[in-house]
């Protein structure tokens, strides 16, 4: 119980410190309405938008599954195909070299032992999973010329997956854990770190690493507290990043992605044992994904 209380204290201390960073501009004691409105305008880019487009992405890659239920070594590698549609905005910053991108999207995908050439051999138990979800993505990038930009983006999403395990183990304990996820939609969350090249405001090429957690049971109250804490920390980084443009502008896109990814890695590392960290809870089923993507902005 004492360790649990310490975890709660550390988690919300981080949120409290981050909140103080959020309200600390020129005067730490005051936050005017104009400051708050200015932040909302920046975050959601309600003005000075250079590009305001729809987008459509197609991605392919592979997924490795892990869990604390002792069956990860029994599963074959998954191969994933993903289609994503959404809206993106690109806006200038005070530095002509740097632009800001934000987007919201929805996706549908399949993760399967079979989405591969026949010459690639499967090792382990076979499965097939359908997945869909909704995401928010943002970050900064470099304007290399009028027709070429590179963005470094971070992404958070809520997901649902329905897994069909096609083969089972001779170990009944493993089978019992497999059946806890089998053939029902389960709720989860994901984060992504992405490098995106945009050519002529039309063609998009992306390299993506992501980690997804699928919960055995969805406990909305515990998940809400955990998710709100993570959201406050990530949005706090958005505000800090805007301030960094003035002091270290050319490195700001790299630092923004590095800090956000580091924070996600720490939080998701804790959630590998407790799905709703900082609360004691069951371990999730974890997917590590690497994908290449091509898309269009229109």
pLDDT tens for the chain, 298 residues long, are 445 444 444 444 444 444 443 433 343 344 445 555 555 555 554 456 778 899 999 999 999 887 766 665 567 889 999 999 999 999 988 788 889 999 999 999 999 999 888 888 888 788 899 999 999 999 999 999 889 999 999 999 999 999 888 877 777 777 777 777 777 888 999 999 999 999 998 999 999 999 999 988 888 888 888 888 888 888 888 877 767 666 776 888 998 999 999 999 999 999 988 888 888 888 888 899 999 999 999 9
CB-CB neighbours of 121 under 10 Å: 7
Query: Which pLDDT does position 209 carry in this prediction?
Result: 96
Within a domain: 152: yes
Within a domain: 66: yes
CA–CA separation, 65 and 212 (whole Å)? 10
pLDDT in tens, 110-154: 999 998 888 888 887 888 999 999 999 999 999 998 899 999 999
CA–CA separation, 53 and 298 (whole Å)? 5
Within a domain: 256: yes
Within a domain: 277: yes
CB 140, CB 101: distance < 8 Å: yes
Within a domain: 37: no
Q: In total, how many domains does the chain have?
A: 1
Domain, as residue range, for 291? 2-25+48-297
Provide the pairing of β-strand 127-145 with 78-92: unpaired
Within a domain: 271: yes
Within a domain: 77: yes
Within a domain: 212: yes
Q: In a 3-state reduction of DSSP, which class is residue 27?
A: coil
Q: In a 3-state reduction of DSSP, which class is residue 79?
A: strand
Nearest alpha carbon to residue 135 among 163, 113, 155, 120: 155
The CATH number that applies at residue 174 is 2.40.160.20
Query: Which pLDDT does position 22 carry in this prediction?
Result: 41
CA 260 to chain CA mean position, Å:
10
Which distant-in-sequence residues (6+ apart) come within 8 Å of 127 by Cβ?
75, 76, 78, 112, 113, 163, 164, 165, 166
CA–CA separation, 268 and 191 (whole Å)? 9
pLDDT in tens, 30-68: 444 555 555 555 555 445 677 889 999 999 999 988 776
43 burial via Cβ count (<10 Å: 0-12, 13-18, 19+): middle
């Amino acid at each position: 119980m004492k360790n649990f209380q310490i975890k709660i204290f550390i988690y919300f201390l981080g949120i409290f410190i981050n909140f103080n960073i959020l309200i600390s501009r020129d005067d730490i004691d005051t936050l005017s309405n104009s400051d708050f409105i200015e932040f909302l305008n920046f975050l959601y880019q309600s003005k000075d938008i250079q590009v305001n487009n729809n987008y459509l992405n197609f991605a392919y890659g592979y997924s490795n599954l892990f869990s604390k239920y002792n069956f990860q070594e029994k599963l074959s590698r998954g191969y994933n195909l993903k289609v994503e549609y959404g809206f993106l905005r690109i806006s200038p910053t005070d530095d002509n070299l740097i632009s800001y991108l934000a987007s919201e999207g929805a996706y549908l995908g399949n993760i399967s032992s079979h989405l591969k050439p026949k010459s690639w051999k499967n090792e382990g138990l076979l499965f097939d999973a359908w997945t869909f979800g909704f995401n928010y993505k943002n970050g900064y990038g470099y304007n290399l010329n009028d027709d070429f930009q590179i963005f470094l983006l971070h992404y958070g999403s809520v997901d649902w997956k329905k897994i069909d395990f096609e083969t089972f183990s001779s170990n009944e304990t493993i089978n019992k854990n497999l059946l806890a996820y089998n053939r029902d939609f389960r709720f989860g969350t994901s984060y992504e770190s992405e490098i995106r090249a945009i050519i002529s405001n039309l063609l998009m090429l992306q390299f993506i690493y992501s980690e997804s957690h699928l919960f055995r049971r969805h406990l909305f109250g515990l998940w809400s507290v955990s998710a709100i804490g993570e959201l406050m920390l990530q949005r706090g980084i958005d505000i800090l990043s805007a301030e960094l443009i003035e002091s270290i502008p050319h490195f700001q896109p790299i630092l923004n992605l590095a800090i956000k990814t580091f924070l996600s890695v720490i939080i998701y590392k804790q959630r590998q044992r407790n799905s709703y960290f900082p609360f004691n809870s069951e371990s999730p089923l974890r997917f590590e994904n690497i994908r290449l993507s091509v898309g269009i902005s229109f």
